[in-house]
Amino acid sequence: MTAIGRRKFAKILTTAGLAGTALLEKMYAEVQDSGAISRESVRSFLDLSGMKVEDDQIPAFEASLDRALDSLKRIRDRNIPLSVEPAVTFRVRRS
């Protein structure tokens, strides 16, 4: 996969913002219905964004999306009492 420059990235975001909204809603509905995103939706998103990706690389994207969805589900499933105040600052502690 090739690196994307700032201008290309901005162009991708603009295109995705216009035409991608409907596609993202479709992808969200797929996740709600089946728990995964179809290969056709991944291919459509990559084509829309202008990324040149070989067909044999799409399963890697699907696996990455599945891991991200699982991580988001675990975060959302955490039970945090309403009495817990939000963090004002965030500090990364490195060991």
Ranking 7-11, 13-17, 49-53, 90-94 by mean pLDDT, the lowest is 13-17
- State residue 10's pLDDT score: 76
DSSP string, 10-35: HHHHHHHHHHHHHHHHHHHHHHHHHS
Question: Do residues 49 and 15 lie in contact, with contact meaning Cβ atoms separated by under 8 Å?
Answer: yes
pLDDT value of position 1: 57
Q: Is the pTM of this model over 0.75?
A: no
Rounded to the nearest integer, the mean pLDDT of the chain is: 79
Closest alpha carbon to 66 in 95, 30, 91? 30
pLDDT per residue as tens digits for the range 7-24: 877 777 676 666 667 777
The predicted structure's pLDDT at residue 47: 80
Tell me how far apart the terminal alpha carbons of the chain are, to the nearest angstrom: 34
